[in-house]
Structure 1
Amino acid sequence: MTLTPQQRLATYFHVHLVSDSTGETLNALARAVCARFENVLPIEHIYALVRSPRQLDRALSDIEEAPGMVIHTIVDDQLRTALEEGCRRLDMPCIAALDPLVSALSRYLGASITSRVGVQHALDNDYFNRMDALNYAIGHDDGQGGQDLEQADVVLVGVSRTSKTPTCIYLAHRGVRAANVPLVPHRPPPEKLFDLKRALVVGLTVSPDRLVQIRKNRLLSLKETRESTYTDPEEVRDELVRARRLFERQGWPVIDVTRRSVEETAAAVLNLMHGGHGQVEVLG
């Protein structure tokens, strides 16, 4: 009998991520690539800020003990050569993750490549803008700081557990000042929400069944077992209907987060910001 990919056991493998900077870019790239394969689960070994032969030797020692794929973003020529030779000696595949893209861009621009390490993390205006946006998102989470919502680039509105907070935090890392306002049963939203001139207001919705499941899981994590209207299917459905009616009355664009990751929801918000306001339905 031939097993389908879904029926096969997951394949675990070691992946060694070697970076002379924070490793964030490399880690995100590796996860994005691994996500393209069914039932493949990487065991990640991250070596960040590798900038000396001694640090590289420690990494190679670990690689020898746990054989697997080696992916790197080393800029320094000597360290890069030492890593590649070490992997060749150990018979390990070694991939320079950014080389194809950097080379293609260099040819297209006719520009030379910088050898500065971690240049993408320089403390420039973008960095401080992201930190400011993150502070704003934290200070305006769950309806806090309602008096200065006008300072937001975007305000997310939705019932409890519709991914408002993680989406705002993700947007903040992109430099977007994002606030969120919860829709609580029998409590009107703040009046300021309806007077915003600059900020884009986006409604978040989700399927009733999915929301009930999320809320039940949340209560279980809090060891809360008492019955509550918070997870009652009829009450949840009514909450969502009232929220949708509010979105429609206000002409706010709506994003269905039922089948969306936080990253996908944030991308949809960014698309709305770049494409203008108006009544828009973004399906899950």
Structure 2
Amino acid sequence: MSMTVPDTNVRAATWFHVHLISDSTGETLSNLLKATAARFETAKPLEHVASLVRSHVQLDKVLARIEQAPGLVMYTIVDPGLRRRLEVKCAELQVPAISVLDPLLNAFADYLGLEQTLRAGAQYDLDEDYFRRIAAVDYTLAHDDGQLTWDLEAAEVVLVGVSRTSKTPTCMYLAHRGIKAANVPLVPTSPHPPELETLRNPLVVGLTASPLRLSQIRQSRLTNLAAEQDVSSYSDETAVREEIMKAKRLFAKHGWPVIDVTKRSVEETAAKILTLLSARRGGDINQA
């Protein structure tokens, strides 16, 4: 009779309650929790989200939930009275309550010598930055996958690459950061748009990846689409390698910066592009 030996390297997950309490959307708290929990391999937070908490009645319900499921409390609340009630209750329950933005806000106030605004959700005002992001998303959607190439000069970033190098998701991520981004696919059977040769305003970036990885991604896509795999070299590794080499020659010809996305997430690729864009603008990071 065989016996299964437990893997001593496998560690049990640590589940814990986390209450995210915000007088705004709570998006900041969610992002911070995700980033922090990722640093602890076995940490598995059970999220309890309470957004738009701006009255004592709403806070009563939140406090009741914390009492029922004690755990870490992360909050972004401007109103002093609500903050105080939350902090007192957490102290009674002996659970940590963290005002996650306080260190940043205090540092900004000390450095700038300015007072903080006490208005919840101030970052979501319909200001110039908001409308810039909306315009960027509209532009990016209209210029996805080689559309409207005659209008590429209006872009801030143009991504160029063969199929499945994450051009579209990277452009959309940039658009939500307020960057007008377009992308142009390089297709083996068609010449690239001539407009690419004469662009002056946009930052043109070439995206590439390892032939093996691209071949695997394309094979998976063909399978999902139930495509006839024997009628196309779309996923053939040799053909993919030739595509990539041809693309690299184009990038080198024009001196475009190149990013290998093989082991990069969309966020990491976008961060690299924003760094390149900032450097091109002479360090002006306000637009990025």
Alpha-carbon spacing, 1:69–1:184, altered in 2? closer, same or farther (3 Å)? same
Specify every segment of 5 or more residues in structure 1 that has no aligned partner in the other structure, as ranges.
278-284
Aligned-partner residue type, residue 59 of structure 2 = L
- CA offsets per residue over residues 143-170 of structure 1, 9 Å max, x none? 1121211100010001111111111111
Structure 1 pair 45–189 and aligned structure 2 pair: CA distance change class (3 A): farther
The residue aligned with 1:281 is none
Residue 200 of structure 1 deviates from its aligned partner by: 1.3
Deviation (angstroms), 1:180: 0.5
Can you list the C-alpha shifts for 1:35-54, whole angstroms capped at 9, x where unaligned?
22223232322221111122
Instruction: Say which of 221, 224, 227 aligns to 2:226.
Output: 224
Choose from 141, 146, 151 the match for 2:149: 146
Q: How many residues align?
A: 274
CA distance, structure 2, for counterparts of residue 192 and residue 229 of structure 1: 27
Partner SS for 2:234: helix
Q: Is residue 2:135 matched to residue 1:132?
A: yes
Q: Confirm or deny that 1:244 pairs with 2:244.
A: no
Structure 1 residue identity aligned to 2:27: E
Identity in percent: 57
Distance 1:58 1:225 in 2: 53
User: Could you say if the C-alpha distance between residues 9 and 73 of structure 1 is closer, same or farther in structure 2, counting changes exceeding 3 Å?
Assistant: same
Structure 2: runs of 5 or more not aligned: 1-5, 282-288
Alignment TM-score, normalising by the size of structure 2: 0.88
* CA distance 1:105–1:152, change in 2 (3 Å): same
Aligned counterparts of 1:236 and 1:73: Cα–Cα separation in 2: 49
Q: Distance in 1 between matches of 2:162 and 2:17?
A: 41
Residue 88 of structure 1 aligns to a residue whose secondary structure is helix
1:157-196 pair list within 5 angstroms? 157-196=160-199
3-state SS of paired residue (2:219): helix
RMSD across aligned positions (CA): 2.0
Q: Deviations over 1:221-243 (max 9, x none)?
A: x3526425222222222221111
Are 2:263 and 1:259 aligned? yes
CA distance in 2, matches of 1:146, 1:266: 22
* Residues 1:215 and 1:69: Cα distance change in structure 2 (over 3 Å): farther
From the CA coordinates, give the structure whose radius of gyration is larger. 2
Shift of 1:201: 0.7
Cα distance in 2, alignment partners of residues 156 and 216 from structure 1: 23
Q: What's the CA shift string for 1:62-110, capped at 9, x where partnerless?
A: 3334332110011111111122223233332211101112112222222
Q: Partner of 1:216: helix, strand, or coil?
A: helix
1:119-166 per-residue CA deviation (whole Å, 9 max, x = no partner) reads 111111111001100111111111112121110001000111111111
SS at match of 1:49: coil
- Partners of 1:125 and 1:29 in 2: CA distance: 26
User: Partner letter of residue 226 of structure 2?
Assistant: E
2:55 is the counterpart of 1:49: no
- The CA distance in 1 between the partners of 2:71 and 2:52, in whole Å, is 20
1:221-276 deviation digits (Å, cap 9, x = unpaired): x3526425222222222221111111111211101111211111111111111223
Matches within 5 A, 1:44-83: 44-83=47-86
- Report whether the alignment pairs 1:92 with 2:80: no
